[in-house]
Amino acid sequence: MAGDHHGLPVGRGKGERVDHLMGVVAVEFRGRFVGEQHHGGFSEMARVSGDWLVAVPKGWTCADTMAVGVAGYTAMLCVVALERHGVKPSDGEIVVTGAAGGVGSVAIAILAKLGYTVVAVSGRHEEANYLKGLGATDVLERAQFASPGKPLGKERWAGAVDVVGSHTLANICATTKYRGVVTACGLAGGMDFPASVAPFILRGVTLVGIDSVMCPTPDRLEAWRRLGADLDIAKLGTISQEIGLSEVVPYAVKLMNGEVKGRIVVDVNR
């Protein structure tokens, strides 16, 4: 994508270099309910507010940027939140739920590169090798976390990236170590949070909400800067696959059925 602070048109092309495109600094925009409350989803070109634009890492292609997408950017926000709350690689395991999805895949790749020990939670056991290839040291079955659990369980996690919510998030909080940090950014398992206050008042667990849609510009800038530094861009080829615009609807069905791993990049020109 490209544009400037005056709100010029923003477009993208397959494989284009984005360090300098159309004579301006390359930028991206995501969130702000584009495609929901504003036109522009899957468009070849869109005119947007300059306040929505953020520079992408130097040297990245448009395809790289789209492969990261909202999910990868959200994953980076989660990692930054863990760090800001003092979670270090030496503190212990970080659990990532919904691990085979977009957020989970990128989170695992980033955390592993930073030296964290990552445990993936997924309902797709057939993706275990994929998850370990991204850097997970172990893969746990989703069913272990999906049912109602105890208010407190055995302490295990130093931190967590959760995209599931509901009982999974409650069980993750219940098994997080003293002073551990849980980042919550999704609701794939439901909007409810059937938990108790026990992890928070007895173990000092911190639950951090992650919003990528209306995230303040300074945090967006930091997330994209960190993506450029801490994401092994070579792994995007493993995490993402490309489809044409005509394939969006059938792939949306696959996505809702939990049949898509990683990220889907849409080439709007075909």
Q: What's the CATH superfamily of 71-209? A: NAD(P)-binding Rossmann-like Domain (3.40.50.720)
SS3 annotation, the chain: CECCCCCCEEECCCCCECCEECCEEEEECCCCCECCCECCCCCCEEECCHHHCEECCCCCEHHHHHHHHHHHHHHHHHHHHHHHCCCCHHHCEEEECCCCCHHHHHHHHHHHHCCCEEEEEECCHHHHHHHHHHCCCEEEEHHHCCCCCCCCCCCCEEEEEECCEHHHHHHHHHCEEEEEEEEECCCCCECCCCCCCHHHHHCCCEEEECCCCCCCHHHHHHHHHHHHHHCCHHHHHHHEEEEEHHHHHHHHHHHHCCCCCCEEEEECCC
- Residue pLDDT, tens place only, 81-128: 999 999 999 999 999 999 999 999 999 999 999 999 999 999 998 999
Which pLDDT belongs to residue 109? 98
- Residue pLDDT, tens place only, 189-241: 999 999 999 999 999 999 999 999 888 889 999 999 999 999 999 999 999 99
* Average pLDDT of the residues in 140-160: 97
Domain ranges of the chain: 9-69+216-267, 71-209
Q: What's the CATH superfamily of 9-69+216-267? A: Medium-chain alcohol dehydrogenases, catalytic domain (3.90.180.10)
Which pLDDT belongs to residue 98? 96
The pTM for the full model equals 0.84
Q: Is the fold of 9-69+216-267 the same as that of 71-209?
A: no
Query: At residue 36, does pLDDT exceed 50?
Result: yes
